[in-house]
Amino acid sequence: MTTFADAPSVESSVSHRTSGVWHGSAQTTVTAGGYSFLVDEPTEMGGKNEGPNPMEYIIGALNGCVSVVIEAQAGARDLPLDGVHTYVYAAQDLRGLEGKADVQPHFHTLQLNIVVATSERDEQKLTQFARDVEHTCPAINLIRSAAGSEVTVQWQFAEKVVEFDAENALNNALGFENRNQAVDAPTPFLTVTNADA
């Protein structure tokens, strides 16, 4: 787990607020910052399967958050950024959610794969970049705090990104079959795992 030298400051803090309206059948409309979205469950969990489930929103937020931090960190250091693809795999033991076992109900394993296309080739700079992104990404740190050592963040730096490259890299790392094939994906010139763990 990442450690930090300073304590949070109230003066430097911003607040985030959301509201939810339950509609029955495991559906809730959530309003956040003037936007609304539907949270649902699959039919086998009592929902209508008309939107992502709550845990999918959490890992989807991880995809979005790390991408924003990558862009900001790259801009701050003039790192050429030609593309970013992210893919998350997370495993959750449903017995905890269903009350059938005294097991943590959230993710027990999570892997985030990030493919970054850049013309930068200095491995030390790229490794420090990955470390700084992991250290400052709120979503990575939130999930690491919850799931601890079972969180893996794997970086691949390549000359370009192609559709399904991050998904294929993650599936290959975990020994899963690829449902979608990345076409003409370059071989990464640098792979970094858990740069800030």
Cβ proximity of 140 and 62 under 8 Å: yes
Q: What is the pLDDT confidence band of residue 149, given thresholds at 50, 70 and 90? A: low
Q: How confident is the model at residue 147 (pLDDT cuts 50, 70, 90)?
A: confident
Tally the domains of the chain: 1
Query: Strand pairing partners for 152?
Result: 111
Residue 31 belongs to some domain of the structure = no
> Domain range holding 172?
80-193
Domain assignment present for 110: yes
**Does residue 74 fall inside a structural domain?**
no
Q: Does 16 reside within a domain?
A: no
Q: Where are the beta strands (DSSP E) in 120-162?
A: 151-158
Listed residue (37, 68, 56) closest to 138, CA to CA: 68
Kindly state whether residue 117 falls inside one of the protein's structural domains: yes
Between CA 103 and CA 105 the distance in angstroms is: 6
Q: Does a structural domain hold residue 150?
A: yes
Residue 132 lies in a domain: yes
The edge-to-edge listing of strands for the beta sheet with 151-158 is 83-92, 107-117, 151-158, 190-193
In a domain, 163, yes or no: yes
Instruction: State CA 144 to chain mean position distance.
Output: 11
CATH number for the domain spanning 162: value is 3.30.300.20
Lowest mean pLDDT among 72-81, 101-110, 127-136: 101-110
Distance (Å, rounded) from C-alpha 94 to C-alpha 149?
A: 20
pTM (2 d.p.): 0.92
Q: How confident is the model at residue 122 (pLDDT cuts 50, 70, 90)?
A: very high
